[in-house]
Amino acid sequence: MGQQLTMTPQLQQAIRLLQLSTLDLQQEIQEALESNPMLERQEDGDDFDNSDPMADNAENKPAAEAQDNSFQESTSSAETLEDGEWNERIPNELPVDTAWEDIYQTSASSLPSNDDDEWDFTTRTSAGESLQSHLLWQLNLAPMSDTDRLIAVTLIDSINGQGYLEDTLEEICAGFDPELDIELDEVEAVLHRIQQFEPAGVGARTLGECLLLQLRQLPASTPWMSEAQRLVTDFIDLLGSRDYSQLMRRMKLKEDELRQVIELVQSLNPRPGSQIESSEPEYVVPDVIVRKDSDRWLVELNQEAIPRLRVNPQYAGFVRRADTSADNTFMRNQLQEARWFIKSLQSRNETLMKVATQIVEHQRGFLDHGDEAMKPLVLHDIAEAVGMHESTISRVTTQKYMHTPRGIYELKYFFSSHVSTAEGGECSSTAIRAIIKKLVAAENQKKPLSDSKIAGLLEAQGIQVARRTVAKYRESLGIAPSSERKRLM
């Protein structure tokens, strides 16, 4: 004999729904509505009645009997009518309750209303386009021989997502059929034609060539054009290492002149292929909405994100208690599954509400003052406050989003480790990142702050952080090292 912990199907379903995002949950609800006839979506204005139809079938019988009686009365009255009277009572045009939009939903439902000013046709209907398809579209518009078109297609296939040619011209030329007798000069000539396509700079083999192609497409009257072309052609390595003194000496330019040349180069795009968005847009639907009302932060669920469900009372009334037929057993099982699903949704909403309320209670400083006021928070703190396990809190905070006056954040964003302060207190790592970002934004770009200097400034504020920790936080923020942040003022 022994004891064993087993998870019931209801508990497994509740846990699975708990960790789904809002978009995944909507898809799960749609699948449940399509597979279970007992479930139905409650429309606005309907009375939400989720009572147990299996409790007493007596309530359903009068309605069913009334429906049967009305049907019998209409049948009997119809039988007593003469044929002529029946035809006279039927109008030539019967009223139809089917609208045009019900049949042709694709065209009608996607159109904007008259008062919808924020409707964007491109955002809602456009699909992502790859760089290759964009270049092939331009190739189809260009007059070209069959051989050159074959070379162009091969070159376009060798261009990566950043817009650079990955293979050398020799490798591309060697890949053609020897019977075609394609020479290297022909491949290079076709490449020069592709380099005139949009986006500017596409098809380059090096960074210098990419920037030079973009400079050539600018107006000839652009100031410092010749100096910028010389800079990206001959001194691109010195520009990358930010050796400005060497650049001024070799290019024979003064500091102010070199600054204007560098500003022109920095206005170019080193990754032209990134301008073509190939991925589909991703949407975030907030699960929780937080707003301030009279110095109080109110937390509420986003009711528009999750549709309300109920048990269909008409189908539930067909279930008979003592009937063991196959049809009645099927309807009974479907009814029980519908109840479990609705109860799991209610449990999910209650748990999400509890966790979100505790997070707002802990992070009032962030909502009032921003990232610098973020307090340290771990899963154990919320789990202890709501009386749940940490694994449950982890499921609730994964892919769940909170809409605040400061923006939309994932619930996991409010959790962070702590760092000790000089007074014996604690400071959140998120707050330290915000302070580092603020210090870097206000630094002297001629002499940017090093990681050691940033650690010293944090220590002056009572925050004890090692230099390696500062470097880790700086890299997580996407801030380059001090040697790469140096600018020529």
Tell the residue number behind the tokens 């898809």, with chain if given: 27
Q: Are residues 240 and 304 in the same domain?
A: no
Report how many domains make up the chain.
3
* Within a domain: 117: no
Q: What is the pLDDT of residues 324-347, one digit of tens each?
A: 788 888 888 888 888 888 888 888
Q: Are residues 430 and 342 in the same domain?
A: no
* Within a domain: 112: no
Output the pLDDT for position 395: 86
Q: Are residues 145 and 228 in the same domain?
A: yes
Residue type, 12: Q
Q: What residues have CB less than 8 Å from 184, skipping those under 6 apart?
A: 169, 170, 173
Look at residues 224, 246, 279 and tell me which one is the last residue of a structural domain. Answer: 279
Q: Are residues 154 and 21 in the same domain?
A: no
Output the pLDDT for position 403: 92
Alpha carbon 51 to chain centroid, angstroms? 38
Output the pLDDT for position 84: 47
Among candidates 375, 365, 368, which has minimal Cα distance to 432?
375
**Measuring CA to CA, how many Å separate 486 from each of 448, 481, 482?**
6, 9, 6
What element of type H or E holds 156? helix 146-157
Q: Are residues 326 and 391 in the same domain?
A: yes
Q: Are residues 133 and 273 in the same domain?
A: yes
* Within a domain: 118: no
Q: What is the SS3 assignment for 332?
A: helix
Q: Are residues 382 and 450 in the same domain?
A: no
* Within a domain: 347: yes
Q: Are residues 463 and 349 in the same domain?
A: no
Render the burial of 141-164: b for 16+ CB within 10 Å, e for the rest. Answer: eeeeeeebebbbebbbebbeeebb
Q: Answer whether 0.85 is exceeded by the pTM.
A: no
For the chain, the straight-line distance linking the first and the last C-alpha, in angstroms and rounded, comes to: 80
Q: Are residues 340 and 405 in the same domain?
A: yes
Q: Are residues 194 and 228 in the same domain?
A: yes
* Within a domain: 26: yes
* Within a domain: 206: yes
Q: Could you list the pLDDT tens digit for every one of the 489 residues in the chain?
A: 878 767 777 778 878 888 888 888 888 888 888 888 888 887 765 554 444 444 444 344 444 444 444 434 444 444 444 444 444 444 555 454 445 444 444 333 344 444 445 544 444 445 557 888 888 999 888 888 888 889 899 999 999 888 898 888 888 888 888 788 888 888 899 999 999 998 888 989 999 999 999 999 888 888 888 888 988 888 888 888 888 888 888 888 888 888 888 889 888 988 888 887 656 667 788 889 999 888 888 999 888 877 788 888 888 888 877 677 888 888 888 888 888 888 888 888 899 999 999 999 988 888 888 888 888 888 888 888 888 888 888 888 888 899 999 889 988 888 887 676 666 566 778 888 888 888 888 888 778 888 888 888 888 888 888 888 888 888 888 888 887 777 754
Q: What DSSP designation does 119 have?
A: -
- Look up the CATH number of the domain holding residue 462: 1.10.10.60
Q: What residues have CB less than 8 Å from 269, skipping those under 6 apart?
A: 199, 200, 201, 214, 275
C-alpha span between 311 and 49 (Å, rounded): 8
Q: Are residues 202 and 260 in the same domain?
A: yes
Look at residues 395, 411, 427 and tell me which one is the last residue of a structural domain. Answer: 411
Output the pLDDT for position 279: 62
Q: What is the SS3 assignment for 398?
A: coil
* Within a domain: 25: yes
Strand partners, 298: 291
Look at residues 210, 244, 279 and tell me which one is the last residue of a structural domain. Answer: 279
Q: Residue 470 belongs to what domain range?
A: 418-485
* Within a domain: 93: no
Q: Are residues 174 and 257 in the same domain?
A: yes
Output the pLDDT for position 71: 39
Q: What is the pLDDT of residues 218-265, one digit of tens each?
A: 888 888 888 889 888 888 888 888 888 888 888 888 888 888 888 898
